[in-house]
A and B are shown apart, each in its own frame.
Chain A
Amino acid sequence: MSLAQCLMAGKVSSLTSYFSLAYMLGFLPASCILYSLMPKAAKKYFLLAASLIFFWLISGKLVAYLLFAVLIIHYAGIWLERIAKERDEATALAEKTERKALKKAYKNRQRFVVAFAAVLLFGMLLTLKYSAFFTVNINTLLSLFHIDLQFEIPKYLMPIGISFYTMQAMSYVFDVYRGTVKADTNIFRLALYMSFFPQIVEGPICRYNETAEKLWNVESIKYKNLCFGLQRLLFGLMKKMVVADRLNSIVQTVFSYHDSFSGGYAAVAAVCYTVQLYMDFSGTMDAVIGTAEIFGVTMPENFKRPFFSRTISEFWKRWHITLGAWLKDYIFYPVSMSKPMKNLTSSARKKLGNHFGPLLAGSAALFCVWLFNGLWHGSAWNYIFFGMYHFVLILTGNIIEPLVRAVNTKLHINPESKPYKAMQILRTCVLVCIGEMFFRATGLRAGLSMFKKIFTDFTFYVKDTDIFTRYSFDVHDVIIVAAVLIIILGVSIANEKGICVRQKLAQSKPVVRWAVLYGLIMMIIIFGAYGIGYVPVDPIYANF
């Protein structure tokens, strides 16, 4: 099929992976070259056109949903600002005593606009992503109650990245409502903020004040940016091709045929999947941030060495950071700071004290956050379980915090000592792996069965050996995965200590720099899991 035919059909599905050849050798270089040839004033428009074409190529006519979302937030923003302007004018003229009532009336109008935009944006997301899940569950309930009524399960085509761009769109509306950003009258700037091609598939979920201006004021590609961007992309490619894709055979086999594997294998698969997910998602973020860097745009980081976390709360501040920040700013704070919750906190504080009092309202907000988080990842019960699992872990951590502190004091344990920190890190890693096992399982029942086997049958045997021999994963693969993980661990430790490895590399002698880059490239070529015998993992977060 020629490029023109692909363009017309919007059928270049391989572009959904930023590591596909179609992207790395086709779309990205072509965009960079054409971008460089554009006059300065046209660069931003070119970037917008390239982004929309990219989305069209991966989603076809579903690009209409994205454009509709842009229109919604554009007009909602203008509407909100107009109300704010009217409010300011009215309150300036009003008597002091009337101002409060006036402000409230205008606030209610603004809330209506926000609710209107939310209904449209989340309505699209709910319909396209969740309607089938809800219908299946309603049908199950109806059958349970022997009601002779079944609804047809709707089937919709879902645009790639809808969960990401909907969150981004809503953050803009909320921010304009809160007055932290001014409404943008330039619909093209807003469209570029929403659709910038490196981030449209898997995020990060950017805020308007973080990227919109930077994207609109892009300049020519600089040699340093190009080198730094490509280096980052290469590092991500190594994570994806050498580790994530290599682990695919064992992860896919054990999770698909979990009934045939004993508990030992279930535990290994849980760890492998956690590593795979991290390598796939953080590797993709390296590609996204690296691509943006080429164009001179700094994107927010989505990972900050999550496996160095001492608690689950800390883990979620380091893993998928932009999602966590979104949930904190637009769900946790609004719920916990709402009037009923404030009242609950003050009355509970009197009865339960300063620790447990505020915890009550905080827990209600936390529950909303984790229910949303679970559902955001997918429309299935195992995702809801995944959310609730983390809710329970964080809540338990909050509840027993004074007890742990007291025990530590009593036993003279220094919580800042290295062994204690190491124990906390290990515990967090184990809890994360268990959560990810439920996340990856083919259903909640499958997840529970695997979890049970870890405790009741921690052996290493396979019922149907034929299944295992179909996939190849041997000691060589273990060595390669371990070697790359050690490299990544080294880089992570350096970064954790505030040493910027990339900067260090840039300052080193050209011979050293080139040797490292050649080494990295040859490592990907030789040890990458591609070609005959390998099935690369599809971009995991692109499905959310």
Chain B
Amino acid sequence: MKSKIASLFTFWRVVGGLIVISGLYYTYIRFTQGIGAVSNLSDVSPWGLWIGFDILCGVGLAAGGFTICAITHIFNIERFKPLTRPAILTAFLGYVLVVVALLIDLGKPWNIWHAIIMWNPRSVMFEVAWCVMLYTTVLFLEFSPVIVERFNLQKLQSILKKIAVPVMILGVLLSTLHQSSLGSLFLIVPQKMHPLWYTPMLPVYFYMTAIATGFAMVVFESYLSSRAFGKELELPLLSTCGLISVSTLGIYFVIKMTELALSGNISYIFAGDFLANMFLAEMLVGVIIPGAILLSKHRRRNRTYLYTGIIFVITGFLMNRMNVGVTSISVYTGTNYFPAVGEVAITLMIVVFGMMAFKFAVKNFPVFSADH
């Protein structure tokens, strides 16, 4: 039995290693022969998997950081406290990886600092750039007590404690702006995006679905850490997170459908074409199925049901961001972009980096400890 577990562990290590090697190989090609050498990006589809998945999904999956902070440190609901550190850690790692992805996706990443001195306040991307910079700093500050505690630096500890509340408030504000602004990015392409997704409400929808996913991620992390370290958060707390997640999605669903009905675009849902089916799949997987599972208290309190429902929420969220960022545009405009092997390899490498960093942090720092 024990050797079986050991061999499984080695198996995943080998897989992870292979993913990193192939990712590094394609990263090398990208920086020596250009973005076109490793991707299917082109003049007709300038944004692809890296924006749709690495950036849009990455930032959304990090949303647990601000929702949990708001609950524990601003609404002062004590019983959520054990969730704070894992949530902040994931958010911080998420943002660092988003920056890594950005450095690969940008054509001239060494010019990224230009956003600090060359301002264009009319640009949503300018807002996004500042949110990324500021919020990554805030997340570092929010996580730093854990590092300071580990090395027992008491003076720093007391300073961090003093600025904790304003930093948390800033973090919630920046996240609100950032999560919604990723939706605002697409407001400029009304004629390129399928009407099932294009709406002036995009920033609001991005915000709501990010909140739902943030709570889902907290549950999911607890599941991962229970498998890896045997450390798990208490079930009633996790099922409350599940309930908040699907309730938020329920409100989102009602608003989204009402809006589609009012704008007259609702008939597109039953058009039977590829995009209509993608929309149905997204709603079914991301909202209806997890709602059916998690709105029942009985099922929510069952570990298997809870984790299953949560995985549906996260999958549906990924489908939504990929649909908005890539599919709804590329299929609607007929460019039919599909990611190349190199794009997938680099994306997988970044995901593996994230898992390795999370594991390292949980192992070496008091992340899942109960009292703080």
Do these two chains interact? Answer: no
